[in-house]
Amino acid sequence: MDRALALAAEASASQDVPVGAVVTDAAGRTIGEGRNLREATHDPTAHAEVVALRAAAAATGSWNLEGCTLVVTLEPCLMCAGAALQSRVSRLVFGAWDDKAGAAGSMYDVVRDRRLPHRAEVVAGVREAEASALLRDFFDQRR
């Protein structure tokens, strides 16, 4: 989460909402990382989680990231929760809750939906205060 928070802090340099993500393998080694690049790349799908999952898949040479953990500073949205399931990561760790668009326990709980063939273990609220403060400061500065 340390690295994810540092990546989130870098996102605001390109006026992107500060969200950072890291993928670690079963041994805890970082195999992919990313930050929100939606503004920087004009790509609506360039959320931190998608960027990190793509990097991890490229690094391992496989889309299947079973056994891996996705660590992200903000609760994933529907797209990112879907991407996490498609990658088959075993665990999702996130910092701040997203009461408006979260899809891992607040608005929706896509990653633990028993109707779907794959689910991920969820650990929520890790260093929540720091992750929330980054977001709050970012939006305060834009007002």
Where does this chain bind Zn ion (CB under 5 A)?
47, 77, 79-80
Q: Which position among 39, 49, 66, 121 bears the catalytic label? A: 49
User: Hey, what's the torsion of the CAs at 118, 82, 65, 75, to 10 degrees?
Assistant: -110
Closer CB to Zn ion, 35 or 47, in the complex? 47
Complex with Zn ion: residue 65 or 77, whichever CB lies closer:
77
CB of 98 to Zn ion, least distance (A): 9
Distance CA 64, CA 86 (A): 8
Please state the closest distance from residue 28 (CB atom) to Zn ion, in A.
Answer: 24
- Please, where are the H alpha helices in the chain? 2-11, 38-41, 48-60, 78-87, 128-141
130 flagged as catalytic: no
CB of 67 to Zn ion, least distance (A): 22
Beta carbons of 68 and 31 less than 8 angstroms apart: yes
- Judged by beta carbon, residue 14 or residue 26, the one nearer Zn ion is 14
Cα 69 to the center of its chain, rounded Å? 10
Catalytic residues: 49
